[in-house]
Structure 1
């Protein structure tokens, strides 16, 4: 049997091609680490030790002569080369999963998504009709809520949630969607009344707007080197959309992420206070491990990536 095949006038030697391809297990390890941002999480997903995952990544990088990851806080971040490689490798794995699911008899599907209210209202709801293009035969429910579903009890199929650094969802598949920079914002009218803010000390004297509790502000100040207990006053609102609206109305300083207020800053409705580079956590797609590789969840992931791009 020949190893050659001719396609539209081009002769391809599949034996030589297979020798040039990296091992599949190394590619799976790379894709899992790139998606989850954690060697340990990738090991749990692949049912191997985190040392085995690290070894596969090390061998893959040596084989290709490219560094795919760099340290970022407690986790890993993709380099430019790693990000480009991940985009193509992940789509290849998605194509395999979808092709496999299409071999099975078609059944009507339903997708129940619970989502943090801020990102649901500001970024996802305006683009929800386009999700039908990704899931044409799926009945989709998007529920903005701060409650956490019991995914193992089938309360929901997926959760889109902001997880602070170090926060975990035991027994679940967690994929990082976006790691936003967090910073304080005010309205121009608020700055006109209170004057410019040039230091954290001046910021602490202003009315702060909190999302449910003072925890987000406390984490932010801690990243800037603050120590000891802070007496943070100000209104506590239910979700991020409300804190942004309160700041837009000139009622105080809101803590928010670039993913939520980009449009408001572009239009001049809000202004960033101070110039900082603080990341407190990530927006994540959370599912059970068994659902994470199903066609509806993969399609949902692609839709979210396109919406947030």
Structure 2
């Protein structure tokens, strides 16, 4: 009976875009990209063989059939929302958050008291892990991950990560005067840094050293600490490394020479996505990382 219905994701994207008359505003509400909303609406139109929107330079306008369909879809989604809400317990008792180690220890853990104030009475378990998970099997509610490829529509982007070499202030001054000194320095690397270095050297048009003096660590924090205490260079990931830059313990010799290295994004376990505690967590995460971006922008502006 329901075999020919479009998917719920397509209907949600259409409903948000139709209600707000904007792909951009719909994308912000649903935590996806505007292009993802546009693609999903187009897929729905092709599925139905009906034009739902008139696309204008200033925004969107519903067709007559689109406006009629929007009323029915909105009503159906509201019924589903109420039924799902009434089926669930009033709130979650705990949140299990799995995060890549660089965020786990340096960014999230020191500020968990903020989250507990925002969602009082809830248990929070923070797990440092970078693996791809079966979230239902692992009973993980929210997974914060890093990827170099563009995130898909189901994932919520938190921030882009950029990379540039960092080192002690005295060494940075020498490198600025004679950039070739950088090639002579031992490099302290964490997992994934080899590709990052290759990309950075290629962007500069420099030939990477044939034999590299490097030491490997599991986490970028370990590499940063090693560089802070001795000679050598490591990759600093912007804007997360702003703590070190603000303190002056590390410096980027060429702050404008950076590469886009990848994206930090969030995946939510579908069975808990509608809980208000999860939505509060998502908003808190976005605000937390937006703070890092703002601090880095202010740091660069101050020179």
**TM-score, reference length from structure 2:** 0.66
Structure 1 equivalent of residue 280 of structure 2? 299
Partner of 1:220: 200
Task: Give the Cα–Cα distance (whole angstroms) in 2 for the partners of residues 145 and 33 of structure 1.
Answer: 28
From the superposition, tell whether residues 209 and 30 of structure 1 become closer, same or farther in structure 2 (CA, over 3 Å). Answer: same
Deviates more, 1:107-116 or 1:148-157: 148-157
Q: Distance in 2 between matches of 1:61 and 1:290?
A: 38
Counterpart contact for 1:173–1:289, Cα < 8 Å: no
The RMSD of aligned alpha carbons is 3.9
1:119-268 → structure 2 map (5 Å cutoff):
119-164=103-148, 166=149, 173-191=154-172, 195-197=174-176, 201-213=180-192, 214-225=194-205, 231-268=211-248
- Could you say if the C-alpha distance between residues 185 and 163 of structure 1 is closer, same or farther in structure 2, counting changes exceeding 3 Å? same
CA displacement at 1:259 relative to structure 2: 2.5
CA-to-aligned-CA distance 1:237-285 (integer Å, 9 cap, x gap): 1112111111211242111222322122122111112231421112111
Q: Which residue of 2 aligns with 1:63?
A: 59
CA contact (8 A) 1:117 1:241 kept: no
- Take 1:252 and 1:58, find their aligned partners in 2: how far apart are those partners? 58
Of 148-157 and 21-30, the range deviating more from structure 2: 21-30
Q: Is the Cα contact below 8 Å between 2:183 and 2:209 reproduced in 1?
A: no
Q: Any unmatched runs of 5+ in structure 2?
A: 1-15, 61-80, 292-303
Alpha-carbon distance change, 278 to 127 in structure 1, aligned in 2, over 3 angstroms: same
C-alpha deviations, 1:18-44, integer Å up to 9, x for none? xxx98316446643278434624x468
2:251 to 252, 259, 271: 271
Count of residues in Structure 1 that have an aligned counterpart in Structure 2: 248
1:287 corresponds to 2:268: yes
More helix by share: 2
Answer whether contact 1:26 1:60 (CA < 8 A) is retained: no
Aligned partners of 1:182 and 1:277 also within 8 Å: yes
Taking a change above 3 Å as real, the CA distance of residues 182 and 228 of structure 1, as seen in their structure-2 partners, is: closer
